[in-house]
Amino acid sequence: MSRTVYVNGAYVAEEDAMVSVFDRGFLMADGVYEVTSVLGGKLIDFAGHAARLERSLQELEMAAPVSDAELLAIHRELVARNAVVDGMVYLQITRGNPGDRDFAWPDPALVPSTLVLFTQSKPGMADTPQAKTGIRVISIDDIRWGRRDIKTVQLLYPSMGKMMAKAAGVDDAWLVEDGFVTEGTSNNAYIVKGGQIITRQLGTDILHGITRAAVLRFAREAQMEVVERPFAVAEAKAADEAFITSASAFVMPVVEIDGTQIGPGKPGRIATRLREIYLEEARKAAV
């Protein structure tokens, strides 16, 4: 069945949705996005995603096409129209269609940004069997640009990373810069050693994960020790546990890196507990 999607103020059937070939998102990857999970028909961590979107727009001097309240209303309307129980809402804002190709940005007063949203249904998403077995990763060079804190649609290298992982017969890749893990292709990366949860500190070199913020808050509330610092692949191989977080994977255990088993090669106690806490709290706070 065809989905209803949202394009610049209109709810339309996906086959009727249109964006110009001159749109800067298409020509220049000049756009930002957010992915908000839906569980039980409700939005997870919506306020965090809206706040990060605003920051991404500000960093790129791009205008917000609608208010946060309107954004929430559009998300809810799409979830309802598409009868999404579990899944995601994808949102993208680009610098719009200046009517031609030019490196210089158009005047935002003359060229409105493009706003597109669509849903992806994933029934039972929170009960994926992968959470019971964990995922396997490889490490690859992080050759992305230097402003990874802005959530842009420039996802070619993360896509290549996923393909490298696929070619290696594993699930994902961790990106390594100057000997230290930055993050996963589409998630934040963590290790656990001696009860300490270790994850890279925030900066311009990683995306400030909304799930990361929530999970670290829950970990601290549960009296777990959190250390925000870089870690190397060798340290990850010698860790007791590892895991990733993202809006769509929640908390996902990692059981192998570059062919080396982490701990007993099974999801660890802390990752498993954090997944339970996150899902419970996120469902409670869903809107």
Shortest CB 193 distance to ligand PMP, Å: 21
Q: In angstroms, give the least distance from the CB of 186 to ligand PMP.
A: 4
Catalytic residues: 151
DSSP string, 33-71: EEEEEEETTEESSHHHHHHHHHHHHHHTT---SS-HHHH
Per-position x/- string for 230-269, each x denoting binding to ligand PMP as judged by CB under 6 A, each - no binding: ---------------xxx----------------------
Does 210 contact ligand PMP by CB under 6 A? yes
232 C-beta neighbours (distance < 10 Å), count: 15
Nearer Cβ to ligand PMP (149/240): 149
Contact region with ligand PMP (CB under 6 A), list: 60-68, 131-139, 209-217, 257-265: 209-217
CB atoms within 10 A of CB 125: 18
For residue 187, state whether it binds ligand PMP (rule: CB under 6 A): yes
**Beta carbons within 8 Å of 286's beta carbon, 6+ residues apart:** 39, 40, 42, 43, 44
56 sits near ligand PMP (criterion: CB under 6 A): no
Nearest to 186 by CA among 115, 281, 252: 252
Residue numbers 90-109 binding ligand PMP by CB under 6 A = none
Rounded to 5°, the CA angle 113-118-124 comes to 150
Residue 188 binds ligand PMP, judged by CB under 6 A: yes
Give the CA angle between residues 151, 252, 232 to the nearest 5°.
75
Q: Do residues 47 and 34 make contact, with C-beta atoms less than 8 angstroms apart?
A: no
Pick between residue 82 and residue 188 the one whose CB is nearest to ligand PMP: 188
Q: Which residues bind ligand PMP (CB under 6 A)?
A: 35, 183, 186-188, 207, 209-212, 245-247
